[in-house]
Chains A and B, each alone.
Chain A
Amino acid sequence: MKKNRSIPLYIGITLVVILFIMMITSLFYTPYDPNVMDPQARLSPPSLEHTFGTDNFGRDILSRVMEGSKTAFLIGTLSVTIGLFFGFLIGALAGYFGGWIDEVFMRFIDAMMAFPGILLAIVLVTVFNTGMQNTIIALGIMSIPSFARIVRSGFIQVKEFDFVKASKAKGAGSTRIIFKHILPNIMSSIFVAMTLSFSGSVLAEAGLSYLGLGVQPPDPSWGRMLKEAQPFIASSPMYLLITGGVIMLMVLGFNLLSDGIRDVRDKKA
């Protein structure tokens, strides 16, 4: 039973590592130039020459998927950073000080939660325009509420522990208590939230770009590839299946990683 529990974690790590290696490789090598069109080889199925086949312009799908992984990792990493930074700030202030600060911040977070995340992202890119940078900002803002909630509840829980109270009684300042005592105790929860939020951003970016509201050409995007593949769903389904499959594997990898970290933490506790 003990062994069984860690299998998902290993699968998660493996998936993330494979995709990460693919991303790093794409920085200096792709089998074909991802933007070169070959009218002779339009929509060809997977073959020895083109491992994943070619798209409607005869571009190599594997090369384009590899290019797209850069965007996925970049957007995931940066939007998680934005979400974590502001979410931590809001959650920490609300959880540590409580009272009216808590009440105001949490009403704000509740209102944001009532908004479907994708709708919020759509509104933001509509107003501030589409493109890589604004997509990152929109997805970052979208992930603030979940970080804020987790950090807040972590702060409230840990604040009540005896050792924190003792430290406070000894005259330790807020900064010291937060960084020395509270932070190490909620680190694993934050890691869980980071991996989940990463996969959420990857999914949302795919959705936004599919709608034409996310990353714009020439920046590569898996979501936009799905949009391009849609008209050919009946004639060459492989294009669609492969591109979506890669998105799913990335999300799955980060979700399993998240579950794994949580299991390890719960075992320790």
Chain B
Amino acid sequence: MKYFLYKASTFFATIMFISIIIFFIFQVIPGNPAQIILGIDADEQQVIQLEEKLGLNNPPMERYIDWIKGIFQGDLGDSLKYQTPVIEILQDRIPVTLSLAILSILLTVIIGIPLGILIARTDGKWYSVILSTLTQLGIAIPSFWFGFILILLFAVLLKWFPTFGYVPWSEDFVGAFKSFFLPSLAIAVTNIAVVIRYLRNTILDQSKMDYVRTARVKGLSERSIVYGHVLRNALIPVLTIMGMIIADTIGGSIIIENVFALPGLGNLLIQSITSRDFPLIQSLVMYIAILVVVINFIVDLLYRVVDPRIRLKG
């Protein structure tokens, strides 16, 4: 319980901290937002009216509080470009980014962990060396470029997947999976490589421990030593890099959504930057950051389930 409370309080502190940074960064933008919205030849009276409506003359503290209230109540005002409430636009976009992130993290775990075990168990063999080299390439590859290669290979040459575009889950499950698979894999490739390398090292470290020697002396098979003893201890450090992987996944989706033309938060972010739709950008950045912090918070709580030894560090 104490652990939960501590984590919950840092969770809120982080969100507050991030919101303050974002809010004040966006205060720096030169020019009058009302003027920007209405254009340079706008009537002075109109500009003053809009300033009033947007609350631009209120003190910064008041505007910050209004914005934060809006973030949590879902009342984010209207987008300048779309002239519709920001929240309606977001409702369609969030599921896309979330699907992409979840599928990508699943791929990372499903592919990364078995390969990490394999490399550790076959340490020194020629195919293990090749796999290790491939992980170096995986870390060095720009994910969006890998996306292009996947498109080239599986969509253009083999025609197994669509080149780009989006099918909602509710419409066609298989179609939706197909539209998410390649982009998720493109985001996952770096993380897969990181997990493989990290897991290999932790398994090899654990294998030198005394309890492994004891197990071997007891006559346990190499197989049951790895899966029954070593793996459980080796996986815990891997969980600790999960936070970094999650941030990378969400960050990666910003670029990848634009490569595959998926209508998610990242795609919207770039569109709104191009049209200088600042209220929308500010809220989008906040929501993406909240998404990262929330997923991290859930993972933090999961550690506790996986490893009851995790307590508050002094």
Instruction: State which residues 267-314 of B face A: CB under 8 Å.
Output: 269-270, 273-274, 281, 285, 288-289, 292-293, 296
B145 touches A244 (CB 8 A): yes
> Do A226 and B254 contact each other (CB < 8 Å), given the known contacts A111-B21, A255-B136?
no
How far, in Å, is B165 (CB) from chain A's closest CB? Answer: 15
Stretch at the interface among A84-92, A154-162, A229-237: A229-237
Stretch at the interface among B10-18, B38-46, B78-86, B168-176: B10-18
Stretch at the interface among A42-50, A60-68, A122-130, A166-174: A122-130
Other-chain contact of B292, A116, A126, A128, A206 (Cβ < 8 Å): A116
How far, in Å, is A234 (CB) from chain B's closest CB? Answer: 5
Q: Would you call B255 an interface residue if the criterion is a C-beta within 8 Å of the partner chain's C-beta atoms?
A: yes
B254 touches A244 (CB 8 A): no
Other-chain contact of A199, B140, B252, B281 (Cβ < 8 Å): B140
> Do A119 and B254 contact each other (CB < 8 Å), given the known contacts A210-B144, A255-B140?
yes
Q: Would you call A117 an interface residue if the criterion is a C-beta within 8 Å of the partner chain's C-beta atoms?
A: yes
Chain B residues in 8 Å Cβ range of A240? 145, 148, 152
A114 touches B247 (CB 8 A): yes
Chain B residues in 8 Å Cβ range of A237? 152, 156
A250's closest neighbor in chain B, by CB? B140
> Do A233 and B292 contact each other (CB < 8 Å), given the known contacts A123-B22, A244-B142?
no
Q: Would you call B258 an interface residue if the criterion is a C-beta within 8 Å of the partner chain's C-beta atoms?
A: yes
B14 touches A211 (CB 8 A): no
Q: Mark A70-82, 1 if CB is under 8 A from B, else 0.
A: 0000000000000
B274 touches A248 (CB 8 A): no
Q: Would you call B137 an interface residue if the criterion is a C-beta within 8 Å of the partner chain's C-beta atoms?
A: yes
A248 touches B140 (CB 8 A): yes
Chain B residues in 8 Å Cβ range of A8? 136
Chain A residues in 8 Å Cβ range of B289? 114-115, 119
Stretch at the interface among B24-32, B56-64, B110-118, B214-222: B24-32
Q: Would you call A113 an interface residue if the criterion is a C-beta within 8 Å of the partner chain's C-beta atoms?
A: yes
Give complex CA distance A211, B140 in Å. 19
Chain B residues in 8 Å Cβ range of A211? 254-255, 258, 270
Q: Would you call B151 an interface residue if the criterion is a C-beta within 8 Å of the partner chain's C-beta atoms?
A: yes
A122 touches B140 (CB 8 A): no
Give complex CA distance A248, B149 in Å. 13
A234 touches B156 (CB 8 A): yes
Give complex CA distance A75, B140 in Å. 17
A233 touches B156 (CB 8 A): yes
Give complex CA distance A162, B279 in Å. 55
Instruction: State which residues 117-135 of B face A: CB under 8 Å.
Output: none
Other-chain contact of B142, A117, A230, A234, A248 (Cβ < 8 Å): A248
Q: Can you spell out 23 A-B residue pairs with CB atoms less than 8 angstroms apart?
A: A113-B247, A114-B247, A115-B292, A116-B247, A116-B288, A117-B247, A118-B252, A118-B255, A119-B289, A122-B269, A123-B285, A127-B26, A127-B28, A203-B142, A210-B144, A211-B270, A212-B270, A233-B148, A234-B156, A244-B149, A248-B140, A251-B139, A252-B140
**Known interface pairs A119-B289, A207-B142, A207-B255; 10 further A-B residue pairs with C-beta atoms within 8 A, sorted by A's residue number:** A108-B17, A114-B14, A127-B29, A211-B254, A212-B270, A213-B270, A234-B156, A237-B156, A248-B140, A248-B145
List residues of A whose CB falls within 8 A of some B CB: 8, 107-108, 110-111, 113-119, 122-124, 126-128, 199, 203, 206-207, 210-213, 226, 230, 233-234, 237, 240-241, 244, 247-249, 251-252, 255-256
